[in-house]
Amino acid sequence: MKDKIIRVVKSPIVYILAICIFLQIFIYKEAKNEYVLTPDSHSYYEEYKGGNILKGELDGYRTPVYPEFIKIIKIFSNEENLYRNVVLVQKAMFLLEILLVYFTMIKITKNKIISSLISFIVGVCPYLVLFNTLVLTESLAIFEIVLLIYITVLHICKPKKITAALTGFIILLMIMTRPGYIYMIPIYFAFWILRYIFNKKELKNVIVGLTSVILTSIIVILYCFQMKNLYGDFMISSVTYTNDLVSVAQAKSYTEATDSPIKHTMEETKGEKTDAESSWEAAGKAYQFNYNDQKKFLKESKYNKKYFKYLIDKCLKLSGSTIQTLYYTPLIENTYINEISNIFLPVTFGMIYLMLIIIGCYIVYCIFKYAKIDWFLSMLFVFVLANTFTLIVGAPFEPQRLFIVSVIPIIMSIGYILSKITNKNSEIDKDNNLFYKFVLEKTENSVIQFMRYIFVGGVAAIVNIGGLFILSKIFHMHYLLANIVAFVCGLITNYYLSKLLVFSTNNTMNRMIEFLTYAIIGIMGLGFDTFFIWIFTDKLSIYFIVSKIISTGIVFIWNFVARKILYLIIEKYDKRKLIEG
């Protein structure tokens, strides 16, 4: 017992928690007395009409977890002190978050100094500490994502069926707290499939994990069906639907919709105004129309060039904004706390974009170089990437508030990168690593090469099309010149990926001659593509999109066969040269 007490006293997390408690009691308390209510706060309890979720009594505007969270606290509290006690529980949960962050970092870094530093930063971060004083879902949502990270890390370090099963349960709680977390379902589907691909010995754990995610998906679908029965729309919450209308109003992409009463109403309400209030007002008026008319109007207003341009402009504009969330004015009543918040972690969304690109490239590099996934970094990367994408495409306003759930994964990513030891010398389990066998292992099997070439061709096409868009739309290059540059970039990508993954041969042929020969095959393919589209469309009267699909398939086979023959010729040339030498 004495030894246990000594170990606890020596643990740095004890002192980190003590500092965090001190800050909450004596310093950050001055930011706002007891708790902060926003216009949304009352709707989670006083206006919540969901009733008993087990009886199918759902609220069209709010999901059930946070209202139930408040109701449970009310059991041990009186009405007068309810919101103060909600905040006290949220603060206690925040201390538990710090513990989870510390033990997670210990697991993934094996470094007490870095783990202590990251836990301390999380514990004193003003826009994490003060957000717990709001009666909003964010505090609970942050706790849930930290808990999911901890359980996932436990499973990665030591796979068990219980941790695999818990992931689905936590994801369900997250979605029923904040519908935007729906992206966790496809993320964890991919996670469990990749766990099997990179280590087929984990099959039993993967089955449990996939089952938990499938059950979560079924429950969410059943929830949406019940919402459709009650409110006429297949949804988790009407908030998403309302946000779509607000975004359309803010983008003014409703001008691209066909003539309708909803369009005229939005035009009259919005006019030339660009403020958020007019967008909410226009959305509110549009919401009063027939549901089917609204759906048609939204479809026409969201899927057009004007709305796409709005999203790009929003993304670029956001890049200069800081991720700190204390712009939320009810929190800032004390001057020195305001000053602390402005200098604490001055990270902008532009820095987040750059970090995501660098980390993403590193993860892909590790996969193709060492046939391994950096599971810890990939998990944190995907969480932040998905949340960033969601707030850009789905949140009309208050992006910093919605990004708050990604602040801790960002801080943990920085700590993990500081401790990162590369896996260059790590061994590949060639018997159980299916990715190595089917993607990286050198082979002359034409079927496997063909499947790999599909991937290579897809990546090259993305580079080609993406390059054309970036050069023409963002850098305003003439589209013909942009097309040539993009084609060359796609060709170079195809060449190097093909050498790395498909035709893995080491040859003595001059690299420039080899590339030019490779390029000639590609240019001939481009010529064939144009010829076949002309034949199918002009001569056989086939719709041009269908013509393009048929032509792409033919040219794809041409490129693969021609390039395989090229490398067979090169291989024979090398063998003959070796014999003659």
DSSP sequence for 200-268:
GGGHHHHHHHHHHHHHHHHHHHHHHHHHHHHHSS-SS-HHHHHHHHHHHHHHTGGGGSPS-HHHHHHHH
pLDDT surpassing 70 at residue 31: no
Most confident of 174-178, 486-490, 549-553: 174-178
pLDDT at 329: 47
Q: Which segment of 37-41, 228-232, 331-335, 493-497 scores lowest on mean pLDDT?
A: 331-335
Nearest-5° Cα angle at 235, 230 to 236 = 95
**Average pLDDT over every residue of 13-35:** 74
Is the entire prediction scored with pTM above 0.85? no
Contact 163, 189 (CB under 8 A): no
Q: Letter for the amino acid at 426?
A: S
Q: Which segment of 113-117, 249-253, 365-369, 424-428 scores lowest on mean pLDDT?
A: 424-428
pLDDT surpassing 90 at residue 189: yes
pLDDT at 423: 45
pLDDT at 164: 96
**Average pLDDT over every residue of 8-21:** 81
**Average pLDDT over every residue of 554-567:** 76
How many other CB atoms are there within 10 angstroms of residue 33's CB atom? 10
Q: How confident is the model at residue 506 (pLDDT cuts 50, 70, 90)?
A: low
pLDDT at 174: 96
Instruction: Please list, residue by residue across 536-563, b when 16 or more beta carbons sit within 10 angstroms of its beta carbon and e when fewer do.
Output: bbeeeebeeeebbebbbeebbebbbebb
Give, as one character, the DSSP assignment of residue 271: T
pLDDT surpassing 60 at residue 271: yes
pLDDT at 548: 59
**Average pLDDT over every residue of 132-136:** 87
Could you tell me the two tokens for 63?
Answer: 């999901």
pLDDT at 193: 95
- Residue 198 half-sphere exposure toward CB, CA atoms < 13 A: 18
Q: How confident is the model at residue 549 (pLDDT cuts 50, 70, 90)?
A: low
Q: How confident is the model at residue 50 (pLDDT cuts 50, 70, 90)?
A: confident
**Average pLDDT over every residue of 338-343:** 60
Give, as one character, the DSSP assignment of residue 543: -
pLDDT surpassing 80 at residue 543: no
Please tell me the distance from the alpha carbon of residue 259 to that of residue 254, in angstroms, as a whole number: 10
Q: How confident is the model at residue 508 (pLDDT cuts 50, 70, 90)?
A: low
Please tell me the distance from the alpha carbon of residue 243 to that of residue 435, in angstroms, as a whole number: 41
**Average pLDDT over every residue of 24-30:** 66
Q: What is the pLDDT of residues 288-330, one digit of tens each?
A: 777 777 788 888 888 888 888 888 888 888 888 888 765 554 5
pLDDT at 345: 59
pLDDT surpassing 80 at residue 384: yes
pLDDT surpassing 70 at residue 180: yes
pLDDT at 336: 55
DSSP sequence for 384-443:
HHHHHHHHHHH-SS-HHHHHGGGHHHHHHHHHHHHH----TTPPP-TTT-HHIIIIIS--
pLDDT at 6: 61
**Average pLDDT over every residue of 231-252:** 84
pLDDT at 51: 81
Residue of 22, 230, 232, 202 whose CA lies nearest to 129:
22
DSSP sequence for 24-43:
IIIIGGGGSSS-B--TTGGG
Nearest-5° Cα angle at 387, 206 to 319 = 145
Q: How confident is the model at residue 99 (pLDDT cuts 50, 70, 90)?
A: very high
pLDDT at 325: 67
pLDDT at 312: 86
Mean pLDDT of the chain: 82
Q: What is the pLDDT of residues 419-470, one digit of tens each?
A: 875 444 456 777 777 777 777 777 777 777 778 878 887 787 778 777 767 7
pLDDT at 402: 84
Q: How confident is the model at residue 36 (pLDDT cuts 50, 70, 90)?
A: confident
Q: How confident is the model at residue 162 (pLDDT cuts 50, 70, 90)?
A: very high
Q: Which residue has the tokens 């969410």?
A: 220
**Average pLDDT over every residue of 33-41:** 78
**Average pLDDT over every residue of 519-532:** 76
